[in-house]
Chains A and B, each alone.
Chain A
């Protein structure tokens, strides 16, 4: 049993954001998806935009994102979130529109929709979760799977025969329509705070209609990486970040 602590004379300094529903997520223990969801919900609360935000959920592990955000949401076909968001924002320029997509959805099957939405400079926030693997389908190789990384479809480790892991931030940054590109991580508390600041900026940018904001969140997949949550967060430091360097790639 834990200890009993009196709450008398104490005030709440952090509580679950209102923009999350009561649903318990299906994410595995320690999964960064939950953290990323929480940060977006905190931002929605802080900006007071629950009634003016429409989110687009992908196909992949975060397919059920619409069950977790207490927001109007659309679930898009695999890879097409940026196309759906394009229509939403063009028809409702006063609304905050964001997509939430994994690496398979955004960089694999949806590569074309992602590139063209960014190239058009759609005034949306794209939240890209890069955990270097297909989570929902059981740990297959993703476009961002690292060289040598073993997955259920690269059992001997990925080689360049399957292509090199794709660095989306670097690619997207070259497009003039894009305003803000940052790669963040959620494996340590300081990085989580930085990720939140980046997301906040990416949402606020929509107020100024100056182009696409693209936030890549380097995240973990403890179950499919076959690691404990703590070990998976360390692997982000050891293997992911050396290949996917954190930082601001563009801020105009």
Chain B
């Protein structure tokens, strides 16, 4: 069994990465994630691992490229504006099929924005962000415990599929303290025969590149990536539901919104409304089948997001017009209270009764 501690979300992310065998961390300070590099700068050297504060997020992500390309377990973390700087590198990493973990402890934007929590980076995370046809696996914890568990998963998934995995959590989760139990981490078998560690005496040299100048070849590379994404969509969809069996209306929210949505759901139940909750955990691959199935038996979805309405587009795509789709949003670092959600959700539910 693991040990139970009271920890901050950001420190949990760092500790889980250590336990998952992260061999190298490269990052640049930015609020609200700076506890991650602070924690690792203390702990990594003790274990003989590599911690390096880079000169920028641009350098961080390219150091991650180098480390991953040599077959080491590596991670970077940042917050929204810093992730924007990393997008070029993430596109290269996806194209070169390198395994690594990137955590985005999101804050309010656009621009320099605010340091308060937000979910405004949903599009950036799940729709690409960088150039070209690529995806990252995007995991969104909503509790400190989930941060620990999903960090383990992120390290496993990136190696399983040789693809970048993003942990996306809003700044509130990064800063909040909760009880967390670290399970024992089981190191999977990792193939690094492709990694650049010096040309083998009796083998071919290894090249890490995303350049395929012949379009026929580049199309083949894209086909390979798409096949991988299809496989990931088949195997790695994660979500949780509560009270959906008899629900007329299902709140859909991830991360912090799922926590607030849970409370709002309970309050609505007390008022006599049959409200359920659906929490996507993998934002990509999005649980579209689950939404589709629900859309055949519920009257409405109510999408809660700390942005102007981003995930709602994926809900609508899966819903295909069957159920009514409502939404409530706060953004720019502002957070809705459960009362506030109920105040707006109740008329929506009344209309559907």
Contact = CB atoms under 8 A, between A and B. Distances in A.
A and B touch in the complex (CB under 8 A): yes
Interface of A: 50-54, 56-57, 63-64, 66, 69-77, 80, 83-88, 90-92, 95, 112-113, 115-116
Contacts of B24: 87, 90-91
Contacts of B70: 54, 74, 87-88, 91-92
A64 B214 CA distance: 13
Contacts of A70: 199, 205
B290 interface: no
Given A83-B66, A85-B66, A91-B23, A77 B207 contact: no
A92 B24 CA distance: 11
B29 interface: no
B200 A84 contact: no
B89 interface: yes
Given A75-B208, A86-B66, A116-B55, 4 more contacts: A77-B62, A91-B70, A113-B59, A116-B59
A54 B198 contact: yes
B79 to A, nearest CB: 20
Contacts of B199: 50-51, 53, 70-72
Given A83-B66, A84-B69, A88-B196, A72 B206 contact: yes
A233 to B, nearest CB: 29
B62 A90 contact: no
Contacts of A112: 55-56, 58-59
B198 A56 contact: no
Given A75-B207, A77-B62, A77-B89, A90 B52 contact: yes
Nearest to B200: A51
Nearest to A86: B63
Given A66-B209, A84-B63, A87-B26, A95 B197 contact: yes
Contacts of B198: 50-54, 72, 92, 95
Interface of B: 23-24, 26, 50, 52, 54-56, 58-60, 62-67, 69-70, 72, 74, 88-89, 92, 96, 196-201, 205-211
B67 A72 contact: no
A73 B208 contact: yes
A72 B207 CA distance: 6
Contacts of A72: 196-199, 205-207
A156 B26 CA distance: 44
Contacts of B67: 87-88, 91
Nearest to B213: A64
Given A74-B196, A92-B197, A80 B58 contact: yes
25 contacts: A50-B198, A54-B196, A57-B209, A72-B197, A72-B206, A73-B209, A74-B65, A74-B208, A75-B96, A75-B208, A75-B211, A80-B62, A83-B54, A83-B63, A84-B63, A85-B66, A86-B66, A87-B24, A87-B62, A87-B64, A87-B70, A90-B24, A91-B23, A91-B50, A112-B58
A54 B197 contact: yes
A113 B211 contact: no
A76 B198 CA distance: 17
Nearest to A55: B196
Nearest to A90: B50
A181 B191 CA distance: 39
Contacts of A74: 65-66, 69-70, 196, 207-209
Contacts of B60: 83
Contacts of A53: 198-199
A75 B210 contact: yes
